[in-house]
Every structure is written in structure tokens, then in C-alpha cells.
Amino acid sequence: MPGYKVQVDTSKCIGCAQCYVACPNKVFAIINKKSVPVNPDACVGCRACIVKCPTNAITIVPRDIYAHYARFYKST
Amino acid sequence: MVPRSYKTDLWIDWCPGCGNFGILTAVVKAFEELGLDPSKTVIVSGIGCSSKIPHFVNVNGVHTIHGRAIAFATGIKLANPELTVVVHGGDGDLLGIGAGHFVTLGRRNLDIVVIMHNNGVYGLTKGQASPTLPMGVKTKALVKPNIQQALNPIALAISAGYTFVARGYAFDSEHLKNLIKMAIEHKGAAFIDVLQPCVTFNDVFTAEYYRKRVYKLDEQPEWNPVAEKPEERVEKMIKAIEKSFEWGERIPIGIFYIDKTQSTLEERYSQRIPLYPSIHPAKSNITRDVDKPLIDNNMFEKIFKEYIVDVEHI
Ligand SMILES: Cc1ncc(C[n+]2csc(CCOP(=O)(O)OP(=O)(O)O)c2C)c(N)n1
Ligand code: SF4
Ligand code: SF4
Ligand code: SF4
Ligand SMILES: [Mg+2]
């Protein structure tokens, strides 16, 4: 019953692994030079990956709350 | 049972990567799985980064003053014993300024849960050493290594009389969620010490540090922390306290001690006042006649006229 949905836009991702290093829960793995959320259920929505990602490739959407809340979780 | 969300739609202003996110996730999941009635559940907090949590959980919330959350929670629980009361606080809040209340709750064994966000620092006030930071450790914001010794929250809680004592890790939300559920279901004072990385001010006890070291007591076949009979108490307490000093290459998380032999404060009161808790303050009559309060607005303003000031409305 995960609380967040983690998405990586592979067209933007440059495989720099900053998200992998920043994530306290090891949600990501770098596969073929792209970040993949291999452990998505462990996401706690802390945004560490979002603020580190140089290309704004990551979106974290809370699954269970109002849609307008989601905008806070997109990289800007 | 209709599944409901216990998360509010407020922006969460903790630093990205903060362990508090993991604790919030665990609390929300625990409430969801227990199906707690939000109108009968209260989160009480003190002051600190950690103490912002009532704003983010969709149950009753009381964000009080530094160190006093347990005192408020005690009043709330005694006034209405039908409520589930959960206290959240930082290590500075609960074990520094609030240490007296922390110990007193153990002696009383009142049926509430205390969840301590243990980050080793005063996060909100920019990273001073908290009562759980070991001596000789130098975190980012300290000019020189910490000159004071750390106290051991688990050992303190057990010796104070808490009847459920556990430790969780903020980024093992699933395990922490189970601890929170058990603590809520336990009758009596429950304490969970949660190891919480503070990415901004604690560069020693990080997520990386804990990930390598924590192991689960519940996976150790020989570990049985429950005192079922009075004659088992001392032995179990001593074993738990000894275990709580294990800190270094391996750090235990899980349940350290459960005592099923002690009465709760509510039970002790009901022996003295037989009508309690069937009649408690929240259920008592506070009106003179049908809809006339003991003190109405006019009367209130008359009594307190010297103290009432107008404040600017924004
Ligand atoms: C009576 C009082 N004294 C001091 C303060 C200043 N103060 C605010 S938060 C805090 C400590 C916060 O540390 P902790 O309780 O560990 O919470 P954290 O921010 O680390 O979660 C202090 C000393 C205050 N708000 N009130
Ligand atoms: S929001 Fe936090 S927990 Fe979730 S993937 Fe990003 S860094 Fe990891
Ligand atoms: S930080 Fe961004 S660009 Fe770098 S690997 Fe992760 S998703 Fe890709
Ligand atoms: S200062 Fe530390 S405890 Fe406070 S929100 Fe930031 S990371 Fe969390
Ligand atoms: Mg703290």
C-alpha cells in the first residue's frame, strides 16, 4: 500500500545517479544509463531525488490525496 | 470499512530527504490499517521540526509548546479516556526540556503512545546537540565535539515505568508501522524511539549509517521481551536495558520490553473513583440549564475584562 508514485521521464534522464545517491530508501537503480524506480513501494515522498535531479526528470505523486496536491511534487 | 486517507493536503516543509517523511508514512499507514476514527484520535506534539506532524495527519491535532506535549496529552486522555492519544516530539523536546514529563508518564502508565523523532540534534533551531548525541561526536553545526554525554532513551523509558518500549528506524516504514500499531493496541504508556536521519544538520547519523547497522530483534529467535508475570519483570527489564546499550557496528530495532503486569492510571483512578471512566469530564454536564453554559460570553468578558486585548486581524 504505497503512498507515492515515482516516475522517471527517461527522455530527460541522463543517468547521473544523483537520485540513487540521494534517496534514503534506495528506490532507484541505474539500468542502462537510466534511472529506474525498482523499489517504488519504499518511497516516502521526501523529495530528496527531485531536488538533486539536474534535468527535472522525476515526478513524485501522492497516490491517495487530492489531485491539486500533486503539483507541489513536480520538479519546477 | 471504507478506506480513508489520513493525510492532509498541506505542503510538508521538512527538508528533502528528512527521516520525518518516513515516520509520517508509517503513522499514516498504521492509522489506516487500524481504521482509527479521526474524531476519536488525537496527535499531540511539542515544538521542533518533528512536532509539525499533527498538521499533516487528518485526525485531531494539538501543536503545543516546547517540551509539554505529554502534559497536554495526559489532560486530554484523562478528560476523555475514549480517545486514542499519540504524542510526537523531538529528542530535544521529550528528553531535554520535557524530560520531567517523560519520566512522569512512565510512572503513571497512562494509556498513550509517545513517538520520539530521534535525530541527535535540535533541528528546528539549526543543529545544536540534543540529549541523544554521544559525547565526542561533532556534527555539522557544532564548533567543537559534543561535551555532554548522551542519555539512553530505551533504558530511561524502561526504568521510568513505560510498559511498552521499542525502537524503530524512520526509513523502515513497514517495520515502524507495525511497531506503531502494537503500541496503540497496548494498554498503558508506550514509547517508540525512532532513529531519524536529519539530512541538514546531522552528518554523522545518516540514512547510510543506519542502513548498514540496524537489525531486527523480532528476527532473533531467542529474543522474548514480554513480562507476563510479576516475577519475570526484573529479569526482562535488565535484559532489555542491556540490549539497549548495544550501539556501534550493529544497532537493534524492534520491541525491547513489554510489561503486561502493571495497571494503567485509568484503572487506578477507577478504583478510587468508581464512576470513572464511565462518567469522565468530557461526558460531564457543563451547562446550568438546558442550553445555558455555566459561564456565558458576557460573563466571561466581565470576569476577564482586564486581560482581553484586541489583536490586529490580517
Ligand atoms: C520554551 C522554549 N525553549 C526553547 C525553544 C527553542 N526551541 C525550539 S525547537 C527546539 C529544539 C528542537 O529540537 P527537537 O525537540 O529535537 O526537535 P527537532 O527539530 O530536532 O525535530 C528549541 C530549543 C522554544 N521554542 N521554547
Ligand atoms: S521522494 Fe524520497 S523516498 Fe521517494 S524516491 Fe525520491 S528520494 Fe526516494
Ligand atoms: S538524478 Fe535525474 S538525471 Fe540523474 S539519474 Fe536520476 S533521474 Fe536521471
Ligand atoms: S532540519 Fe533536519 S529534522 Fe528538520 S526538517 Fe530538516 S532534515 Fe528534518
Ligand atoms: Mg531533534
Spell out the residues 6+ positions from residue B101 whose beta carbon is closer than 8 angstroms to its own: B67, B68, B69, B70, B71, B74
Inter-chain CB proximity B11 and A72 less than 8 Å: yes
| Terminal C-alpha separation, chain A | 28
State the distance from the centre of ligand 2 to the C-alpha of A45, rounded, in angstroms: 5
Q: Chain A partners of B14 at a C-beta cutoff of 8 Å?
A: 46
Closest CB to B22: pick one of A22, A44, A72. A44
User: Is B171 within a domain?
Assistant: yes
State the distance from the centre of ligand 5 to the C-alpha of B48, rounded, in angstroms: 7
Q: What is the pTM of this model?
A: 0.90
Q: pLDDT class for B207, splitting at 50, 70, 90?
A: very high
Q: Where are the beta strands (DSSP E) in chain B?
A: 41-45, 60-63, 84-90, 113-118, 121-122, 128-129, 164-169, 190-195, 214-216, 226-227, 251-259
Q: What is the nearest CA distance from B9 to chain A, expressed in angstroms?
A: 6
Contacts 24+ apart (CB under 8 A), B57-62: B57/B6, B57/B7, B57/B8, B57/B24, B57/B27, B57/B28, B57/B31, B58/B4, B58/B5, B58/B6, B58/B7, B58/B8, B59/B6, B59/B31
Q: Chain A partners of B9 at a C-beta cutoff of 8 Å?
A: 65-66, 68-69
User: Is B6 within a domain?
Assistant: no
The predicted pLDDT at position A2 comes to: 55
The predicted pLDDT at position B290 comes to: 75
Ligand nearest the Cα atom of residue B200: 4
B44 vs A62, which has greater pLDDT?
Answer: B44
Q: Which three cell numbers stand for residue B10?
A: 498541506
H-run or E-run covering B239: helix B233-244
The predicted pLDDT at position B3 comes to: 54
The predicted pLDDT at position A39 comes to: 94
The predicted pLDDT at position B77 comes to: 98
State the distance from the centre of ligand 3 to the C-alpha of A36, rounded, in angstroms: 9
Give ∠ CA B144-B149-B155 in degrees, rounded to 5.
150
Residues with beta carbon inside 6 Å of ligand 1? B 47-50, 66, 90-93, 97, 117, 119, 121-125, 130
Task: Name the residue with the closest Cα to ligand 3, atom 2.
Answer: A53
Cα(B177)–Cα(B170) distance, integer angstroms: 10
CA A65 and chain centroid, separation: 18
Q: What is the nearest CA distance from B17 to chain A, expressed in angstroms?
A: 5
The residues facing A35 across adjacent strands are A30
Inter-chain CB proximity B12 and A45 less than 8 Å: yes
Inter-chain CB proximity B197 and A3 less than 8 Å: no
b/e sequence A52-74, b meaning 16+ C-beta within 10 Å: bbeeebbebbbebeeeebeeebe
Q: What is the nearest CA distance from B123 to chain A, expressed in angstroms?
A: 16
Which of B2, B4, B7 best probes binding to A when mutated, by most A CB atoms within 10 angstroms?
B7
User: Is B8 within a domain?
Assistant: no
Closest CB to A65: pick one of B7, B14, B197. B7
Q: What is the nearest CA distance from B67 to chain A, expressed in angstroms?
A: 26
Domain residues for B81? 19-268
B279 vs B258, which has greater pLDDT?
Answer: B258
> What percent of chain B is modeled with pLDDT above 70?
98
Secondary structure letter of residue B58 according to DSSP? S
State the distance from the centre of ligand 5 to the C-alpha of B51, rounded, in angstroms: 10
Query: Which of B72, B163, B155 shows the shortest CA–CA distance to B109?
Result: B163
Ligand nearest the Cα atom of residue B64: 1
Task: Report all structural domains of chain A as residue ranges with CATH numbers, in order of start.
Answer: 4-73 (3.30.70.20)
Residue B75: strand, helix, or coil: helix
Amino acid at B15: C
User: Is B98 within a domain?
Assistant: yes
For residue B64, give the CATH number of its domain: 3.40.50.970
b/e sequence B202-240, b meaning 16+ C-beta within 10 Å: beebebeebeebbeebeeeeebebebeeeeebeebbeeb
pLDDT at B65 over 90: yes
Cα(B167)–Cα(B92) distance, integer angstroms: 17
Inter-chain CB proximity B173 and A45 less than 8 Å: no
Does the interface ipTM go beyond 0.95? no
Chain mean pLDDT for chain B: 94
Q: pLDDT 10s digit of each residue in chain A, 76 long? A: 457 889 999 999 999 999 999 999 999 999 999 999 999 989 999 999 999 999 999 999 876 544 444 445 554 4
When divided into structural domains, chain B yields a total of 1
User: Is B274 within a domain?
Assistant: no
The predicted pLDDT at position A15 comes to: 95
Closest CB to B21: pick one of A46, A50, A72. A46
Q: Chain B partners of A24 at a C-beta cutoff of 8 Å?
A: 17, 19, 22, 171, 197, 199, 207
State the distance from the centre of ligand 4 to the C-alpha of B127, rounded, in angstroms: 9
The residue of chain A with its CA nearest to that of B12 is A46
Q: Where are the beta strands (DSSP E) in A1-76?
A: 4-8, 28-31, 34-37, 58-62
User: Is B285 within a domain?
Assistant: no
